[in-house]
A and B are shown apart, each in its own frame.
Chain A
Amino acid sequence: MRELLQLVVVGLSTGSAYALVGIGMVLIFRTTGIINFAQGSFAVLGGLFMVELVDGLPRLLAGALSVLVVGFIGSLVGFVAVGFRRRTTPLASLIITLGIALLIASLNLLAFGDRPHTYPTFFERAWDIGGVLVQPQYVLVAGVTALAALLLTLGLQKTIAGQALVACADSRRAAELVGIDVRAVAVIAFAVSAGLCALGWVLLTPVDPVNYDSDVRIAISGFAAAAFGGLASIRLAYLGGLTLGVAQQLVVGYADEIPGLGQQGRQYELAAALVIMLVLIAWRSRHEVHE
C-alpha cells in the first residue's frame, strides 16, 4: 500500500509536468492548427538552463530566468514555423517543428554533452506523511504546475489578450476579419507554451534528469496527454497528463509482476505511455470520422 501511494504521488507529479507540455500543445494546435514537435525540446531546455543557472543564482531567479528565456526561444520557433512566410502549409509547419526539435537536440548535445543533467533537490529531507516517505520536490512540481494551469485558464477567459487567443482558436477567419494579427497570436501561443514546458522541467529535473535526447519521450508523453482531450481541451489535457503519469509509474512499479516484461521495468515506462496513447486514439476513433 505504501509503495502504491508513493507511486501515485510520483505519477501525479511527473504527470502534471507532462500535462503542461500537453496543454502547450493544445494551445498551439488550437491557434495554429499544427502540432509542435519541439514541445519536448522546450522542456529539456528548461531543465538544462536551470541546471546551469542554479549554481550561481538564487533558485527563484534561476527558475524564472530559465522559463523566460525558453519562452523567448519559443516565440522564435513560432515565428519560423508559422509566422515567417504566408505560404507555409500545416504539413510544412509540422516538418519544420520536427527540424527545430532536431536542431535544438544537437545544439544541446554540443553544449551539454551526452549525459543526464540534474541539480540537487530543493529539499534536504523527504517528508513523512503518515508513514509514507514523499520526496517534497514532487509535491512542489504538482503544486506549481496546477497553479500555472489555473492561471492560464483564467488568463484566457478574463484578459483581452487571452480572449483574442481564444478567438483565433475558435474561428481564425473571423479573428482575422476583426483585425487580429493571427500570426502574431500564433507566435505568442508558442511562447506561452514553451514557458509552460520549461516550468515543468525547471522543477522536475532534480528527480527526473534530462539529457539532450530526452525531448522525444517528453514530446510523446505530452502528445498523449493532449490526445486525451482530443487536442482541444486544456482541462482534459491536464487530466490526461495526470492519468498518464500515474499509469507510467504503476507499470514501472509493478513491472516484475507483469508476465513477459521481466526486470526491464524502466525500459517500459515510455512504452506504457505509448501504448496508452495508442489505445486512447483507437478508442477515440470509434466515434470520430476523419474531417
Chain B
Amino acid sequence: MRERLPTVGRLAGTLAAGAFAIWLSYQLSPGDRSLYTLMGLYAIVAIGLSLLIGFAGQISLGQGAFYALGAYTAGILTVGVDPDDRLVNPDAGIDPALAVLAAPVLTGLVAAVIGVPLLRLRGHYLAFATLALHLILLAVIFAQSRFTGGQDPGLAVIEPLEVFGWQITGVTGGTARHTAIVWGLVLVTLLLALNLVGSRPGRALQAIATSERTAAAAGVDVSAYKLRLFVLSAGLAGLAGALYVFMLQFLSPDAFGVFLSIQFVVMVAVGGLGSVYGAVAGAVAITWLEHELRELGTRPSLLGFDLPDQAPQVFSVGVFAVILIVVILFFPRGLLPALGDGLRRLRARV
C-alpha cells in the first residue's frame, strides 16, 4: 500500500487541482463535457476499488454491477417502482435527490450481504463471485424488462435532478453544473480516502495490507475491515451510477456490460494498485483511451485497410487488453508508482 499521509503541499496541490477540475466543467463544449463527466464518475468508482484492492487485497470484478445497480435504483425510484403506475402518474416516483441518496445505500447493502461469506476466502473467490454478480444483474435487467425497461425501450428518466430548488440537471440531461458537482464529489472522495489512509483505521488497514496474519495477531478485526472497504467501494460505485442516470436521463443495459467492470480494474491497475491518486489518473486515462479507440474503430478505413463491422469493439477491447497486459507485465504495481520511482531515482542522481 503506497499511500502516505498527504503533506500540506500535496493537500494544497490536490485542492488546486480539484478547483481546476471543477472550473473546467464550465469551459467544455457539451460533447467534450459528457466524456469529462464520465471520467469523473468513473474516478469515483476507481477510488473505491483502489482502496479495496490496495488494502484488502481483494479484486472486485463487479464494480460495474454496483454502478448499474445504483443507476437502476435511482432511475426506478424516480420514475416509480410500479411499472403500471409509471405510465399514468407523473408523480409516481420519489424525489430524484432522494433516489440518488438511496442508491449507494442499496448497493452497500447488497455488498454487505455477499461480502460476509466471500471476504473470508481468498481473493479469487470474490473476483469470480462479483463477476457472477454482474452477469446475474444483467440477466435480471433483461428478463424483468417490464420493471427495468430492459434493452428496448429502456428506461427514460426525464425528471431533472434538483436539490432544495437548486437545479442540477435539465430536462435534456447533464449540465455544466452537474459535471461540476461530479468533479466536486471526486475531490471530496479523494480527500476522504486520503484521510482514511492516515487515520487510525487507516493504520489498521495498512497493517492488514502488509500482513493479514500479523494484523490479526495484533487484534485487528481483518474481516470487519475488509467488509467495510467492500461496502464502501460498492456504495461509491452506486452513487456514481445514480449520478450517471441524470446525465443521460436514459438507462439501458448496453451501458453496463461486463467490460465495464473489467475497465475499472484496469483503471486501478494501470494508475497504481493502491494509489488513490493513481486511481483518478487511471480513470481519466482509460476513459479517454477507450473513447479514442472506439472512435478510431468507427472509421470506415484506417491506414488504407478496410475496417470490418466489429472494429469499434475489437479496437477498444483488443487494444485495451494488450495495453493492460504490457503495463502489468512491466509495471506490476501500476504506472504512477513506476513513474514516481523513476522520478525519485532521477532526483537522487541530481
In chain B between 309 and 343, which residues have their CB closer than 8 angstroms to a CB of chain A? 310, 313-314, 317-318, 320-322, 324-325, 328-330, 332
Stretch in A135-143, A183-191, A278-286 with 4+ CB within 8 Å of B:
A278-286
Q: Closest CB of chain B to A41's CB: distance in Å?
A: 11
Contact of A285 among B118, B123, B265 (CB under 8 A): B118
Q: Does A227 contact B (CB under 8 A)?
A: yes
Complex contacts, A91 vs chain B, CB 8 Å: 53, 57, 59, 123, 273
Q: Interface size class for chain A?
A: 35 or more
Q: Does B120 contact A (CB under 8 A)?
A: yes
- Provide the bound-state CA to CA distance between A290 and B325, in Å: 29
Is the beta-carbon distance between A105 and B122 smaller than 8 angstroms? no
- Provide the bound-state CA to CA distance between A262 and B322, in Å: 41
- Provide the bound-state CA to CA distance between A286 and B117, in Å: 7
Q: Does A147 contact B (CB under 8 A)?
A: no
Nearest residue in B to A216 (C-beta to C-beta)? B258
Complex contacts, A80 vs chain B, CB 8 Å: 325, 329
Is the beta-carbon distance between A103 and B322 smaller than 8 angstroms? yes
In chain A between 216 and 253, which residues have their CB closer than 8 angstroms to a CB of chain B? 216-217, 220, 223-224, 227, 231
Stretch in A13-21, A106-114, A148-156 with 4+ CB within 8 Å of B:
A106-114
Is the beta-carbon distance between A107 and B325 smaller than 8 angstroms? no
Contact code string A252-290 (vs B, CB < 8 Å = 1, else 0): 000000000110100110110111011001111110111
- Provide the bound-state CA to CA distance between A48 and B119, in Å: 37
Complex contacts, B330 vs chain A, CB 8 Å: 85
Complex contacts, A85 vs chain B, CB 8 Å: 329-330
Question: With contacts A216-B135, A220-B132, A290-B122 known, is A87 near B332, CB below 8 A?
Answer: yes
- Provide the bound-state CA to CA distance between A54 and B16, in Å: 63
Q: Closest CB of chain A to B312's CB: distance in Å?
A: 11
Contact of B135 among A113, A220, A262 (CB under 8 A): A220
Contact code string A161-186 (vs B, CB < 8 Å = 1, else 0): 00000000000000000000000000
Contact code string A85-127 (vs B, CB < 8 Å = 1, else 0): 1011101101110111011011101100110000000000000
- Provide the bound-state CA to CA distance between A87 and B223, in Å: 29
- Provide the bound-state CA to CA distance between A268 and B139, in Å: 7
In chain B between 125 and 176, which residues have their CB closer than 8 angstroms to a CB of chain A? 125, 127-129, 131-133, 135-136, 139-140, 142-143
In chain B between 72 and 129, which residues have their CB closer than 8 angstroms to a CB of chain A? 114, 117-125, 127-129
Nearest residue in A to B223 (C-beta to C-beta)? A290
Contact code string A17-61 (vs B, CB < 8 Å = 1, else 0): 000000000000000000100000000000000000000000000
- Provide the bound-state CA to CA distance between A267 and B140, in Å: 8
A-B contact pairs, 22 of them (CB 8 A): A35-B127, A35-B128, A89-B332, A92-B328, A95-B266, A95-B324, A99-B321, A100-B325, A106-B321, A109-B314, A110-B318, A113-B310, A227-B125, A264-B142, A271-B140, A273-B132, A275-B136, A278-B132, A281-B129, A282-B117, A285-B120, A290-B120
User: Residues of B at under 8 Å CB distance from A?
Assistant: 53, 57, 59, 61, 114, 117-125, 127-129, 131-133, 135-136, 139-140, 142-143, 212, 222-223, 258-259, 262, 265-266, 269, 273, 308, 310, 313-314, 317-318, 320-322, 324-325, 328-330, 332
User: Residues of A at under 8 Å CB distance from B?
Assistant: 35, 80, 84-85, 87-89, 91-92, 94-96, 98-100, 102-103, 105-107, 109-110, 113-114, 216-217, 220, 223-224, 227, 231, 261-262, 264, 267-268, 270-271, 273-275, 277-278, 281-286, 288-291
